[in-house]
Amino acid sequence: MADLEHMQKEVDAYIGQFKAGYFSPLGQLARLTEEVGELAREINHSYGEKQKKPSEEDKALEEELGDVLFVIISLANSLDIDLSEAFDLTMQKFTQRDHFRFERVDGEKDA
């Protein structure tokens, strides 16, 4: 199993093969939006009311999530952002700010 640091290095090595390098941040955001749309479409087909057209091929949700993750990693790399650090900051925010936001399974209540 790969950790975020390894994934960022692997994506960087892959992108480093090409003269064009990373797309601009705005170009990557557009690509991320496209990939999230594809993920949304597959989730809607699998769990929503929208039926797939007979001409549409099945795509695995894992593949669509992987595409989203690849673009997020590419964007982070191009902006020199360590995703492990970004994740740690986000988890700290959620565990502190949202500690009592939802009903807890341990029964603990806001003081």
| CATH code given to domain 7-97 | 1.10.287.1080
Q: 3-state SS string over the chain?
A: CCCHHHHHHHHHHHHCCCCCCCCCHHHHHHHHHHHHHHHHHHHHHHHCCCCCCCCCCCCCHHHHHHHHHHHHHHHHHHCCCCHHHHHHHHHHHHHHHCCCCCCCCCCCCCC
Q: Name the pTM for this structure.
A: 0.83
**pLDDT tens, residue by residue, 73-86:** 999 999 999 999 99
**pLDDT tens, residue by residue, 24-78:** 999 999 999 999 999 999 999 888 887 777 777 777 899 999 999 999 999 999 9
